[in-house]
Structure formats: C-alpha cells, structure tokens
C-alpha cells in the first residue's frame, strides 16, 4: 500500500489549535475521499505565514520551501489572515504543479469551523492528489464539493504563484463570513476576563446609583425603547472608548491596502462588541444580586408609589437602568488590564508582528 505524507503548516494561534483538534481524523477522511488504496500520514509545522493577497507569492514560495525541506509529498498552509481578490473573499489558493495549497480560515465563517476545516483540508488534498495523478485530464469539477457554498473557481493573473483559486461569489455573504470568521479567530471569549477592573468599577457605580430614589423613579418612567437606547449607547460607547484608549483603530498606511484596513477595523469593532456585551451581561447579573439585597420591595413601592403587582418588572427596569449607567459612568474610567492582550485582538497588530518575524527569519537564513 502506497504511503503519502502530507504537511500541514498552520499559523500560530487559532489556526494551530484547530489543526491539532482535527489532525487525528484526517487520515480516515483522506482514505475515504481521496484514495482508499493509500495510507496518509499528516505532519504539522507551525509558521508565522503572511498570506493575504498582498503577500501570496511570498507565502506560496515559503510553504513550498518548507515542504521540500521536510520531504513531504503535499503541503497545505492554513492561515488566519484574510485574503481578497477584487474585493471578493478568497477561500483557497492552489499551486498544483508544486503540490501546494493555502486555506484561509476566516472565509469559513463563525459556526462549525472545525468541521468545515476538516472537510476543506480533505478537499485540498484530493485536489492536489488527483492533479498529481493525471494533470492532463484533471478537472476540478469532478472533485467532491467544498464546504463553503457558492464558490467560484478562477485562474489568478500570470504573475501569481497560485494556479487556481476559490472565491465566494457573493460580495455580501463573503464579507459577512470573513468578518465573523475573523472575529471567531480573535477568540473574544478569551479576553472577557481581561476587564475585571472595568466590571468592578461599573458594579460599584451601579450599586451606588441603585440606593437613591431618583434612579428608581426614572426607571419606572422610562419606556422600553428608552432603556434599549440607553443600553445600546452604553455598549457602543464602551467599544469606541476601548478602541480610542488602546489606539486599536488602524489609520491610513502605505503598508496595508484600504480594503484590508476596513476588514481589520470592522473585526476589531466586532470583537470588542462581543466582549462588551458579555461584560454587560455579567454586570447585569451582579447588579441583580446587589439590587435585590439593598432595595427592599416595600421601600421601593412606597417611595415610588409603584403598583405592587408589577414589583418584579419594576426591579428588572431598575437593574437594566443601573447596568447601563454603571457601564457608562464607572467603566469609562478604566482600561483593559493587559495592554498586549487587548492589542493582540487586532489583525493589523498580529500581521505586522508576524511579517517582522518572517523578515528576521529570512535575514537569519541568509
């Protein structure tokens, strides 16, 4: 039985984590969908790939070099950086003649990423293997369908190392997928605990506000739309404050194209929005306990002349109101506890770091 070695080159971070989660399943999938008469062995080497379309030639050249150094039969790069072609989202790049391909994880979206990645890696291997078996009669239309729906196949310009490319047809769906996918790769849940000081100050402020009668009366007078507007204002205000306080918004630069800056900034906003909403929920729960303890129903109803039949709803309005005020008044005075950790959620920061790392590696090797 023929033995084939496939190299996987994930970028550091989430790409590496996802590959480690699926690598044990890949030999079985490859045997089922690629060639049952072969045994497939997968090896992993992590590399800080810079793989947007701005650096695609360098990236393809780099993964081919790693493939040759390791003696692999095929190589598949797996990156967490986005790639665009004429503002359309690129899912995959193939250099069929060199048995190399590149997969952009952000194009897989936010949900079921591990399952999609497993199928896409298998599909890439099938593509490269069948091209290598018979390049003259090879047709990509005969391959199993990729996971990402509504994709089109196109041939890149002649000066590109890639010989074939998968692109999501719809601009809207493609951009929605890639922004959500980039937000997922940022792992916003991992930095929620990085704002303990922020939540503490907001909780203290909300608790302090809740012991006065004026907020009680305001919470009863406010219509639901006003409470919703105040909540949205406090959340978006917090997001923009964090962006400003940590200088996370990428301005004009000669190093990064405008459409990539837009992607990076939208992803930063979405990531911090996720974190802020999570902290808002935590603060709501904490203030629920606080208000229940410090605001007795009898005094609340007496001071506000509220209808006793609606005590629970009145309490919810008060907690909702104080949560929004606490988020605004208390948390705006603080920042994240770890500057490096919060800056690492920005793609521009990570890409710049990795590109410099690659430059150092190239200088060392030469």
259 exposure class (CB count in 10 Å sphere: 0-12, 13-18, 19+): middle
Residue 123 has pLDDT above 70, yes or no: yes
CA angle 327, 325, 245 (to 5 degrees): 35
Question: Facing residues of 75 across strands?
Answer: 7, 100
Tell me, yes or no, whether 159 and 230 share the same domain.
no
pLDDT of residue 313: 77
The CA distance from 11 to 48, in Å, is 5
Q: What average pLDDT does the segment 108-120 reach?
A: 90
Range of the domain at 105: 2-170
Q: Which residue has the higher pLDDT, 134 or 202?
A: 202
Tell me, yes or no, whether 84 and 6 share the same domain.
yes
Q: What average pLDDT does the segment 102-126 reach?
A: 90
Cα 314 versus chain centre, distance: 38
Q: What average pLDDT does the segment 314-329 reach?
A: 85
Residue 186 has pLDDT above 80, yes or no: yes
Residue 168 has pLDDT above 60, yes or no: yes
Considering the chain, what is the average pLDDT of its residues?
A: 80
Tell me, yes or no, whether 190 and 164 share the same domain.
no
Domain assignment of residue 228, yes or no? yes
The CA distance from 21 to 114, in Å, is 8
Please say whether the beta carbons of 250 and 285 come within 8 A. no
Domain assignment of residue 152, yes or no? yes
Tell me, yes or no, whether 200 and 54 share the same domain.
no
| Total domains, the chain | 2
Residue 358 has pLDDT above 60, yes or no: no
Question: Facing residues of 44 across strands?
Answer: 8
Residue 3 has pLDDT above 80, yes or no: yes
Residue 72 has pLDDT above 90, yes or no: yes
Picking from 361, 350, 344, the residue whose alpha carbon sits closest to that of residue 81 is 350
Cα 357 versus chain centre, distance: 22
Domain assignment of residue 180, yes or no? no
Which residues lie closer than 8 Å to 319 by C-beta, 6 or more apart? 210, 284, 287, 288, 291
Tell me, yes or no, whether 162 and 208 share the same domain.
no
> What is the domain-level CATH number for residue 93?
3.40.390
Residue 354 has pLDDT above 70, yes or no: no
- pLDDT bucket at 87, cuts 50 / 70 / 90: confident
* 60-to-45, 50, 99, 344, 360 alpha-carbon distances in Å: 15, 10, 11, 25, 18
Domain assignment of residue 42, yes or no? yes
Please say whether the beta carbons of 289 and 187 come within 8 A. no
Among the candidates 170, 203, 226, a domain finishes at 170
Q: Which residue has the higher pLDDT, 29 or 333?
A: 29
Cα 109 versus chain centre, distance: 8
Tell me, yes or no, whether 108 and 161 share the same domain.
yes
Q: Which residue has the higher pLDDT, 164 or 340?
A: 164
- pLDDT bucket at 256, cuts 50 / 70 / 90: low
Domain assignment of residue 181, yes or no? no
Domain assignment of residue 287, yes or no? yes
pLDDT of residue 333: 63
Three-state SS for 135?
coil
pLDDT of residue 5: 92
Picking from 81, 108, 89, the residue whose alpha carbon sits closest to that of residue 154 is 89
Torsion, Cα 171 83 124 74, to 10 degrees, reads: 170
* Alpha helices by DSSP H, the chain: 14-22, 26-33, 56-70, 113-133, 171-185, 196-210, 213-221, 224-245, 258-294, 297-304, 311-329, 339-343, 347-365
Residues 191, 193, 198, 203, CA torsion sign: positive
Tell me, yes or no, whether 335 and 220 share the same domain.
yes
Most confident of the following: 2-16, 241-255, 300-314: 2-16
Residues 285, 290, 293, 294, CA torsion sign: negative
pLDDT of residue 180: 92
Structure tokens given for 60: 């393809």
Residue 254 has pLDDT above 60, yes or no: no
Q: What average pLDDT does the segment 309-324 reach?
A: 80
User: Lowest-pLDDT range, 16-25, 292-301, 337-346?
Assistant: 337-346
pLDDT of residue 56: 73
Please say whether the beta carbons of 122 and 27 come within 8 A. no
pLDDT of residue 7: 94
pLDDT of residue 18: 93
């Amino acid at each position: 039985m023929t033995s084939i070695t496939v190299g996987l080159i994930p970028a550091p971070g989430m790409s590496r984590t996802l590959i480690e989660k699926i690598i044990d399943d890949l030999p079985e999938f490859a045997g089922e969908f690629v060639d049952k008469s072969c045994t497939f062995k997968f090896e992993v080497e992590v590399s800080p790939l810079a793989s947007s379309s701005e650096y695609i030639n360098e990236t393809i050249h780099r993964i081919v070099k790693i493939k040759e150094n390791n003696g692999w039969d095929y190589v598949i790069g797996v990156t967490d950086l986005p790639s665009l072609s004429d503002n359309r989202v690129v899912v995959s790049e193939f250099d069929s003649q060199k048995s190399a391909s590149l997969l952009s994880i952000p194009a897989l979206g936010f949900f079921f990423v591990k399952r999609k990645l497993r199928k896409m890696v298998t599909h890439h291997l099938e593509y490269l293997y069948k091209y290598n078996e018979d390049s003259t009669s090879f047709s990509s239309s005969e391959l199993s369908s990729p996971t990402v729906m509504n994709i089109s196949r196109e041939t890149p310009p002649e000066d590109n190392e890639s010989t074939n490319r998968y692109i999501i047809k719809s601009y809207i769906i493609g951009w929605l997928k890639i922004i959500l996918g980039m937000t997922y790769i940022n792992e916003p849940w991992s930095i929620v605990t990085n704002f303990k000081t922020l939540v503490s100050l907001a909780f203290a402020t909300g608790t302090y506000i809740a012991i006065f009668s004026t907020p009680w009366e305001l919470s009863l007078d406010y219509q639901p739309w006003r409470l919703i507007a105040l909540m949205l204002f406090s959340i978006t205000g917090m997001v923009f404050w964090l962006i400003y306080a940590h200088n996370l918004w990428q301005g004009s630069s000669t190093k990064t194209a405008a459409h990539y800056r837009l992607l990076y900034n939208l992803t930063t906003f979405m990531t911090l929005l996720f974190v802020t909403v999570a902290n808002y929920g935590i603060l709501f729960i904490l203030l629920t306990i606080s208000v229940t303890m410090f605001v007795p129903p009898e005094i609340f109803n007496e001071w506000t002349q509220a209808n006793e039949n609606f005590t629970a709803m009145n309490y919810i309005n008060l907690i909702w109101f104080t949560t929004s005020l606490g988020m605004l008044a208390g948390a705006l005075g603080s920042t994240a506890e770890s500057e490096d950790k919060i800056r690492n959620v920005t793609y521009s920061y990570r890409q710049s770091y990795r590109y410099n790392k690659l430059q150092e590696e190239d200088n060392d090797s030469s």
